[in-house]
Amino acid sequence: MNPVELIRKKRDGGALSRAEIEYWIDGIVDGTIPDYQTSALLMAVYFRGMTEEETVVLTDAMAHSGSVFSPDDLPGFAVDKHSTGGVGDTTTLVLLPLLAAAGLTIAKLSGRALGHTGGTIDKLESIPGFCARLSKSRFLDQVRRHGFALADHTDDMVPADRILYELRDVTSTVDSLPLIVASIMSKKIAGGARGIVIDVKTGAGAFLPELEDSRRLARSLVAIGTSLDRRISALITDMSQPLGRAVGNALEVVEAIETLRGEGPADLTDLCCELGAELLLSAEAAAARDEALAHLRRLLSDGSALDAFRRLIECQDGEPAVVDDPSLLPRALRVVEIDAPASGTVARLDALSIGRAANALGAGRTTKDDTIDPAVGVEILQKVGDQVDAGAPLARLHANRETNLPEASELVRSAYTIDPNGGAHEPPPLIVERIGP
C-alpha cells in the first residue's frame, strides 16, 4: 500500500477500505505519511465525500490513534454530551452536576474556547484554584470514587484529530461532513461513554448556521455513533440568539450556579433538562421522557444538583465557596450599559455579534495561544420578543480594558434589531428537532 494509491482512489471517486484508512491514520500519527500527501487526500475527500462505512472506519481509527477509555474502564453507565459550539452555551456547566446528582457517571473531556464560541474548560478555570489538567490516573480515580470528572483533552488522546484538524484548517477542508463527523465522534468514542447526546446548534451563532446542514450533521453523527455501539441521539437547538443571559467565562459560572439552584433563565434550564432527559433515557434511569424531565427539575429545585457542583469544584482543587458567594469569582473593573435606541419589541438578537463582542472584550481566543480574561463578557438583559423602552438597558458589557470598549459596544448595538411598531416577535423554538437512531 502507498499513499499515492489512496489519493488516486479517492480522487477518482472510490471508497477506501478499512485497511487503507487504518494505514493512513497510522501513517499520520507515526509521521511516515507526509503532510502534503495527507493534504491531497483531505482535498480528495472534500470533493468526493465518504460513504457511511468509510466514515465509521475513519472515526474508529482516529479514536484509537492514541490513548482511549473503553466503556469498561468507567464505572456505572457513563454518559457524555457534546455541543457543536455556541454563544453563551452554559449547558455543560449545568448538565454535568445535574446528571451526577441523578446518579449517572460522567467522565467528560472538554475543549477550550476557539473562534466566537466559548469552551467549558475556560469557564471552569475562572473558579479560583480549579484544575482541569488531570492526569489519566487522577481522572479515572476521581470518576471511580465520585462518579464524575471534567478535564482537558490530554495530548495523548486522539492525536490523529489534532494533526488532521491543523491540516484541514490551512487547506480549506474543514467543512467536509465526513471529516467533521469523524473529528467529533472520534473524541466521543475515545472518551468511553456508553450514552451520548449531541446538541447540534443551528442559527447565526452556530458552527453550521443553516438548518439543513445542522440536520445532515446530526443524522450522520447519530448514524456513526450507533454503528460504533453507542446509545446516541441529537437535539437540533436554536443558536440564533445567545443561550441564557451570560456570555463570558466567570459570568457563565454565575449563571450556571443560578440555574443549578433552580433560578436560572428558562431557555438554559429547559435545554439542560431536555439534554439530560435524553441521557437518563439512554441509561434506562427513567422509563419515560416526562418522568426524566420531572426528576431533573426536582434535582435543580431541591439543592442536589448544586451540591454536586460544589463537590466537583472541591474534587478538582477549586474554591467551593464560590457556589454560595459568586463575588469570589473574578470581576471586571467596569460595567457599561448599552441602551435601547428606540421603544419597541426586540425582533432580532444576533448570537454571532454577541460572541464577537465578548471576544473583543477578551473573553475568547482568536489563536490557540491567546490568553483569555475570565472576568469579561456580555450580560444580555433583553432577548427576542421582549418589550423595551427607549433608553432602557439592552445589555451590559463587563470590561477590563478601555481600548476594546467601542468595538464591543458597536457589536452589541448591531446585534439588536428593535421593531418600533411593537409587533409580536416570537423567539425561535429552542428545540428545533430531535434525531434518534
- Chain residues binding Ca ion by CB under 5 A are 88, 90, 243-244, 246
Q: By rule CB under 6 A, what string of x and - marks binding of each residue 219-258 to ligand URA? A: ----------------------------------------
Cα 88 to Cα 113, 236, 366, 396: the distances in Å are 11, 16, 17, 14
The answer to whether the CB of 158 falls within 8 A of the CB of 187 is yes
Q: How far is CA 385 from the centre of its chain?
A: 26
Sign of CA pseudo-dihedral 73, 74, 78, 84: negative
Residue of the chain from 91, 105, 183, 240 that contacts ligand URA (CB under 6 A): 183
Cell of 345: 419589541
From ligand URA, Ca ion, none, interface partner of 88 (C-beta below 5 to 8 A by class):
Ca ion
Q: How far is the CB of 203 from Ca ion (least distance, A)?
A: 15
* H or E element in which residue 151 lies: strand 148-152
From ligand URA, Ca ion, none, interface partner of 90 (C-beta below 5 to 8 A by class):
Ca ion
Q: How far is the CB of 201 from ligand URA (least distance, A)?
A: 11
Considering only residues 348-407, where is the footprint of ligand URA by CB under 6 A? Answer: none
Sequence-ordered list of residues with C-beta below 8 angstroms from that of 317, at least 6 positions apart, any chain? 129, 130, 131
What is the C-alpha separation between 114 and 99, in angstroms, rounded?
26
3-state secondary structure of 396: strand
From ligand URA, Ca ion, none, interface partner of 244 (C-beta below 5 to 8 A by class):
Ca ion
Candidate segments 180-188, 296-304, 313-321, 344-352, binder of ligand URA by CB under 6 A: 180-188
* H or E element in which residue 334 lies: strand 334-339
Cα 228 to Cα 188, 189, 298, 413, 434: the distances in Å are 11, 8, 34, 46, 20
From ligand URA, Ca ion, none, interface partner of 249 (C-beta below 5 to 8 A by class):
none
Residue of the chain from 180, 208, 280, 415 that contacts ligand URA (CB under 6 A): 180
What is the C-alpha separation between 96 and 242, in angstroms, rounded?
20
Total binding residues for ligand URA by CB under 6 A? 4
From Ca ion, ligand URA, none, interface partner of 246 (C-beta below 5 to 8 A by class):
Ca ion
The answer to whether the CB of 373 falls within 8 A of the CB of 390 is no
- Pick between residue 147 and residue 355 the one whose CB is nearest to Ca ion: 355
What is the C-alpha separation between 130 and 168, in angstroms, rounded?
33
Catalytic positions, written as ranges: 82, 161, 168, 183, 187
Residue 422, number of CB atoms within 10 A of its CB: 12
Q: How far is the CB of 266 from Ca ion (least distance, A)?
A: 12
The answer to whether the CB of 144 falls within 8 A of the CB of 134 is no
Cell of 291: 418522568
From Ca ion, ligand URA, none, interface partner of 183 (C-beta below 5 to 8 A by class):
ligand URA
User: Does 150 sit near ligand URA (CB under 6 A)?
Assistant: no
Q: How far is the CB of 306 from Ca ion (least distance, A)?
A: 17
- Pick between residue 243 and residue 384 the one whose CB is nearest to Ca ion: 243
Residue nearest to ligand URA (CB): 183
- Pick between residue 62 and residue 306 the one whose CB is nearest to ligand URA: 62
Residue of the chain from 56, 143, 177, 184 that contacts ligand URA (CB under 6 A): 184
Considering only residues 193-222, where is the footprint of ligand URA by CB under 6 A? Answer: 207
Q: How far is the CB of 118 from Ca ion (least distance, A)?
A: 9
From ligand URA, Ca ion, none, interface partner of 184 (C-beta below 5 to 8 A by class):
ligand URA
Cell of 224: 456513526
Cα 11 to Cα 39, 162, 198, 284, 419: the distances in Å are 12, 24, 32, 45, 51
Candidate segments 119-127, 177-185, 217-225, 302-310, binder of ligand URA by CB under 6 A: 177-185
Candidate segments 12-20, 176-184, 309-317, 426-434, binder of ligand URA by CB under 6 A: 176-184
Residue 106 sits at φ, ψ, to 5 deg, of -130, 110
Say what the alpha-carbon torsion angle 21, 176, 200, 279 is, to the nearest 10 degrees: -10
Cell of 134: 488531570
From Ca ion, ligand URA, none, interface partner of 364 (C-beta below 5 to 8 A by class):
none
Q: How far is the CB of 207 from ligand URA (least distance, A)?
A: 6
Binding site for ligand URA (CB under 6 A): 180, 183-184, 207
